[in-house]
Amino acid sequence: MNRETSRELYDRSLDVLVGGVNSTVRAAPQPYPTFVQSGDGGHVIDADGNRYIDWVMGLGPLLLGHDLPQPVTAAIQRRASDGPLFGTPTEIEVEHAEFVARHVPSVELLRFVNSGTEATVSAVRLARGYTGRNKIVVMQGGYHGAQESTLVEGDADHRGPSSAGIPPAFAQHTIPVPFNDADAVTEVFETHGDDIAAVLVEPILANKGIVEPVAGYHETLRDLTHDHGALLIWDEVITGFRVGGLGCAQSEFDITPDVTTFGKIIGGGFPVGAIGGRTDVMEEFTPTGDVFQAGTFSGHPVTMAAGLETLQYAAENDVYEHVNRLGGRLREGLAAVVAEHAPAYTVVGRDSMFKVVFTRDGDAQSGACTGGCRQDPDCERHAACPKTGADVGDAAVQRWNRVFRPQLLDAGVLLSQNQFESQFVSYGHTEADVDETIEAYRNAL
Ligand code: PLP
């Protein structure tokens, strides 16, 4: 496959963009990233004219695929031609907020921002302002964007910033705990309960290979936060309007967070984030409360139009039925491939998310993965399935990154940039895309 133009573009970009990219993970593929020229349904075409089945889907926002349906395109064009933005409120922001509040029961009031990172930054500040406390509990291996309060590594006893440029003192206010470990988080609340403003958690770890919650874990977090007067913040930047359809993951898991952060799909492919939650909490934001929050581009009319029309299109068409059915077909097919060729590996994901984690502990004796790990204690290989971010970190990450992904690229299948990032099915994908992908996995594994 000729990728000469991608190579030349990367060479050029290294002169003017840091590391040749505008977001760190994009530089992960070796020896250079694929530069994409255009999208077409469930496919992308690169700068050399090569076509790939695309399971990256913009890292999550593109629920409808690369060809936006006519009503979505028309709404975007109409908004752009009305003038890009005004610095005053517009009706479309109200309509979008009404849609989200109507479908996500825990959300009464919203504030739109411009990225998932901005949403989690604001949500953490809101929780601290609302409770008058400092500490935030996060999950090891969870991801909440490039922000000071959550770029923390270690454990409850020894923790520090996971990036240069963050004062170590900041990390003292963030307590990382292992996902799915009820005892660990209970102990943290016993020690620090009076100073914990919030637990910030993804419903499923979606940036670390996809790790499902074990039964009862989210209920434990809900009870602990409730009992200690802390807030429960669900980071639904990835799962929002993807897992559980229009009700989001919180409807699927039947948990009512106090605050939810959104991003990705709610902007229909344009930069977006949002914080939503109970009125008494949300009104702590300025201008009604004291927690300062603002943004020139927040509630951008073009983004609002793209996001709202995307969600309305999903509500009125068979979008979730389509993406979830293809997601199931993929996971089942991949489970059969794994059973035959790599029984140690685990197929993870739900609804329209999927990944094969190159776990090392499973083996033929404990039975192969049946597809779409649900942390079922009765599953023969329950013990081998990842329960924490660290379990995924222990997988054969380099094999996935350096051997497997390039093989799939050569076969015309574009996977996410590393073993950890989720992959996404869109409305633009077809059964043929799924079957071709399963075949490519079969050949590579
Ligand atoms: N929260 C989660 C769960 C995410 O997956 C991401 C990004 O992938 C973010 C927050 C940050 O969002 P953004 O990249 O839009 O800043």
Name the 3-class secondary structure at 413: strand
Q: Which of 238, 355, 424 is the best mutation target for the ligand 1 pocket, counting ligand atoms within 8 Å of the beta carbon and taking the most?
A: 238
Q: Mean pLDDT across the chain, nearest whole number?
A: 96
Per-residue pLDDT band for 366 (boundaries 50, 70, 90) equals low
Question: Token pair for residue 89?
Answer: 């409120």
Contact 141, 390 (CB under 8 A): yes
Residues 118-165: pLDDT tens digits?
A: 999 999 999 999 999 999 999 999 999 999 999 999 999 999 999 999
Q: For residue 130, how far is its CA from the centre of ligand 1 (angstroms)?
A: 23
Tokens of 373: 């790990």
Domain end marker among 281, 316, 351? 316
Rounded mean pLDDT, 373-400 = 90
Q: At 296, which CATH number? A: 3.40.640.10
Would you give the DSSP letter of residue 185? H
235 is known as an active-site residue: yes
Distance between Cα 112 and ligand 1 center (Å) = 15
Distance 118 CA to ligand 1 centre (A): 9
Q: Identify the residue whose C-alpha is closest to ligand 1 atom 10.
A: 144
Q: What residues form DSSP beta bridges with 39?
A: 44
For residue range 51-65, what is the model confidence (pLDDT) as tens digits? 999 999 999 999 999
Residues with CB under 6 Å of ligand 1 are 59, 115-117, 120, 143-145, 202, 206-207, 235, 237-238, 263
Residue 427: how many CA atoms within 13 Å on its side-chain side? 22
Last residue within a domain, chosen from 290, 316, 342: 316
- What's the gap in Å between 238 CA and the centre of ligand 1? 7
pLDDT over threshold 80, residue 178: yes
What distance in Å separates the CA atoms of residue 26 and residue 20, rounded to the nearest whole number?
A: 9
Determine how many CB atoms are found less than 10 A away from the CB of residue 358: 24
**Same domain flag for 256 and 295:** yes
Q: Is 264 a catalytic residue?
A: yes
Best probe residue, ligand 1, of 117, 147, 211 (max atoms within 8 Å of C-beta): 117
pLDDT for the residue numbered 225: 98
Q: Both 371 and 285 in a single domain?
A: no
Min mean pLDDT across 118-127, 270-279, 335-344 is at 335-344
- Total domains in the chain come to 2
Ligand 1 midpoint to CA 187 (Å): 28
Q: Given the residues 10, 52, 130, 143, select the one marked as catalytic.
A: 143
- 348 and 312 in a common domain: no
User: Which residue among the candidates 52, 135, 208, 235 is catalytic per the annotation?
Assistant: 235
Whether the CB-CB separation of 162 and 168 falls below 8 Å is answered with no
| Six-digit token string for 11 | 């060479």
pLDDT higher than threshold 60 for residue 392: yes
CA of 376 to the centre of ligand 1 (A): 28
What is the three-class DSSP state of 275? strand
Long-range CB contact pairs, 276-279, < 8 A, 24+: 276/100, 276/101, 276/104, 276/106, 276/107, 276/108, 276/109, 276/110, 276/111, 277/106, 277/107, 277/108, 277/109, 278/106, 278/108, 278/109, 279/108, 279/109
Residues 296 and 340 in one domain: no
Residues 205 and 164 grouped into a single domain: yes
Q: In this prediction, what percent of the chain has a pLDDT beyond 70?
A: 98
- Which of these three, 285, 316, 347, is where a domain ends? 316
200 and 238 inside one domain: yes
Residue 143 among the catalytic residues: yes
Q: Would you state the pLDDT for residue 363?
A: 58
Q: Whose CA is nearest to atom 5 of ligand 1?
A: 238
- What pTM did the predictor assign? 0.97
* Shared-domain flag, residues 160 and 101: yes
289 contacts 281 by C-beta, under 8 angstroms: no
Q: If residue 408 lies in a helix (H) or strand (E), which one and from where to where?
A: helix 405-410
The pLDDT of residue 441 is above 90: yes
What's the Cα-to-Cα distance from 245 to each of 66, 100, 318, rounded to whole Å?
A: 19, 12, 11
Rounded-to-5 percentages of helix, strand, coil across the chain:
40, 15, 40
Q: Which residue has the higher pLDDT, 293 or 363?
A: 293
Range of the domain at 347: 4-67+319-444
Pocket test for ligand 1, best of 237, 261, 424 (most atoms within 8 A of CB): 237
Q: Do both 166 and 209 map to the same domain?
A: yes
Give the atom of ligand 1 at the shortest distance from the alpha carbon of 207: 5
Choice among 135, 208, 264, 387 that is catalytic? 264
Taking only the tens place, the pLDDT of each residue in 71-89 is 999 999 999 999 999 999 9
- Burial degree of 88 (CB within 10 A; 0-12, 13-18, 19+): exposed
Q: What is the pLDDT of residue 368?
A: 65
381, pLDDT greater than 90:
no
Residue 342 Cα distances to 43, 157, 169, 208, 379, angstroms: 27, 38, 45, 20, 18
Same domain, 113 and 246: yes
Q: Could you give the CA distance from residue 58 to residue 42 in angstroms, rounded to a whole number?
A: 11
Same domain for 397 and 429, yes or no, is: yes
230 and 353 share one domain:
no
The residue whose CA has the least distance to atom 12 of ligand 1 is: 116
* Residue partners of 101: CB distance under 8 A and separation at least 6: 107, 108, 109, 110, 276
Q: Residue 37: pLDDT above 90?
A: yes
Q: What is the CATH number of the domain that holds 31?
A: 3.90.1150.10
| Whether 309 and 352 share a structural domain | no
Which one has a higher pLDDT value, 217 or 382? Answer: 217
